[in-house]
Amino acid sequence: MEYAKSIYTNAPGGGVKIDKLPVQRLPEHNVRLKVLLNGMCGTDRGIVSGGLSFAYNPQNSDKLIIGHESLCIIDEIYAESEEFKVGDLVVPVVRRPGDCVNCKIGRQDNCSDGKKHEAGITGMDGFMREYFYDSLDYIVKVPDKEMIDVAVLTEPLKNVVKGFEVFDIVSKRAIFANEYSTFEGKRCLVIGSGSEAFLYSMMAREHGFDVIMTNRHPIEDKKLEICERFGINFVDYSADASQITGPGNDLLIDTSGDPGTIFRFLKTLNYNGVLILFGTNGRAPPAQLNGNDIDFFIERNITVAGTVDAAKIHYIKALEYLRKWKYAYGNTLSQLITGTYRPEDLEIFTKKPAGEIKTVIKW
């Protein structure tokens, strides 16, 4: 049996430890991946705190190796491949298919019977370890080695690429764009100021929206500078929400998972507005809607769409955006990575470092 240093929990209870754990090579595994970097996200912290009730261990195990955001290098390959070779930088896919129709066509992100698995989250060991075995079917190649400083953002960005695909589909129920069929002059409000909020805001700018990012407290100067560089306007709504509520919004994207805040800003949506629900927080306090709120959503043709995970195509597109943004914004893109830690620095799972956008672990 082989062993690799791994960061693990016992899901859904939570907790976090690091130790050498067995590495399994299954018959379908035809590649060995050495992990260079892992990204840390709200989901990992939710698993460790025990707040993510849908996380669970692999079958017959009391341990779940966590980690679903990663940048890896191919260490060994045991199959003929025109696409991959030893030394390639790759990003492994989080979700693995079950056997429903969506899973059968590579759209396990839209799994319709819940039988899919997610590395580091639901029933499958993840990527926070020195190395692991996988199948070439579930890795995506980083097209340009110069992207080594930003490619760890591929996994969180792939969710955003899918989120915008969902927006694109649901917004087609009426004319959402302006008279030139663009989104110039349309307003997008993003709730939260973590990594997914930054990536959603950047994608909304990419689409032409005027973008406000908001939180219930101010953000650090360094984060404000990054917002400015990307053309994102940050508003601390606890100080003054008038910039948000006054003119109304066309697209609302939530990364906080806080029902009270979502409902408050849902009521700022203009006619044919769209709410994209993305943040999860099982421990958030409940909030109430009344009959007038329901009338408001009906009268305005408001659409509420939840979105989770993404498919291989979204990883590929995320890498294209990262390549474009790396050259468009220079160093500012890699500044989204606000801290690099050792695998032993387990305190980052329970305490967000100040000024965090994306925290990464370097193996």
Q: Which residues bind Zn ion (CB under 5 A)?
A: 41, 43
Q: How many CB atoms lie within 10 A of CB 13?
A: 11
In terms of DSSP H, where are the helices of the chain? 42-49, 101-104, 154-170, 195-206, 221-230, 242-245, 259-266, 291-299, 312-329, 331-334
Count of Cβ atoms closer than 10 Å to residue 337 Cβ: 19
3-state secondary structure at position 213: strand
Residues lying near ligand BGC in the complex (CB under 6 A) are found at 41, 43, 68, 94-95, 118, 121, 155, 159, 280, 308-309
215 binds, among ligand BGC, Zn ion, ligand DN4, none (CB under 5 to 8 A by kind): ligand DN4
Adjacency order of strands within the sheet including 64-65: 14-23, 2-10, 64-65
Q: What is the closest distance, in whole angstroms, from the C-beta atom of residue 41 to Zn ion in the complex? A: 3
- 64 and 57 Cβ atoms separated by less than 8 Å: yes
Span of 5-13, 27-35, 195-203, 225-233 interacting with ligand DN4 by CB under 6 A: 195-203
A 10 A CB-CB count for 79 gives 10
Nearer to ligand BGC by Cβ, of 6 and 122: the residue is 122
Which partner, Zn ion, ligand BGC, ligand DN4, none, binds residue 338 by CB below 5 to 8 Å per kind? none
Which of ligand BGC, ligand DN4, Zn ion, none sits in contact with 210, Cβ below 5 to 8 A by type?
A: none
**210 vs 309 by CB, closer to Zn ion:** 309
CA-nearest of 350, 337, 360 to 49 is 350
Residue showing the smallest CB distance to ligand DN4 in the complex: 194
Which amino acid makes up residue 67?
G
CA 186 from centroid of its chain's CA atoms: 24
Name the residue nearer to ligand DN4 (CB basis): 281 or 335: 281
Which residues touch 224 (CB under 8 Å, ≥6 apart)?
234
Q: Does 195 bind ligand DN4 (CB under 6 A)?
A: yes
Complex with ligand DN4: residue 206 or 254, whichever CB lies closer: 254
Q: For the CB of residue 86, give the shortest distance to ligand BGC in the complex, in Å.
A: 27
Per rule CB under 6 A, is residue 67 in the interface with ligand DN4?
no
Decide if residue 280 touches ligand DN4 (CB under 6 A). Answer: yes
Q: What is the dihedral of CA 125, 40, 277, 220, to 10 degrees?
A: 170
Residue 42 touching ligand DN4 (CB under 6 A): yes
Nearer to ligand BGC, 311 or 333 (CB): 311
Q: How far is the CB of 7 from ligand DN4 (least distance, A)?
A: 17
The distance of closest approach from Cβ of residue 113 to Zn ion in the complex, given in angstroms and rounded to an integer, is 23
Among 102, 233, 272, 281, binds ligand DN4 (CB under 6 A): 281
Query: Which listed residue (279, 319, 321, 349) binds ligand DN4 by CB under 6 A?
Result: 279
Helical (H) or strand (E) element with 33 = strand 31-40
The DSSP annotation for 35-102 comes to: EEEEEE-HHHHHHHHT--TT-BPPTT-S-EE---EEEEEEEEE-S--SS--TT-EEEE-SEE--SSHH
| 140 vs 269, beta carbon nearer Zn ion | 140
Out of 88, 206, 210, 258, which residue is the one contacting ligand DN4 (CB under 6 A)? 258
Instruction: Please state, in angstroms and rounded to a whole number, the distance separating the CA atoms of residues 195 and 55.
Output: 21
Q: Which residues bind ligand DN4 (CB under 6 A)?
A: 41-43, 46, 159, 191-197, 215-216, 255-258, 261, 278-281, 308-309, 352
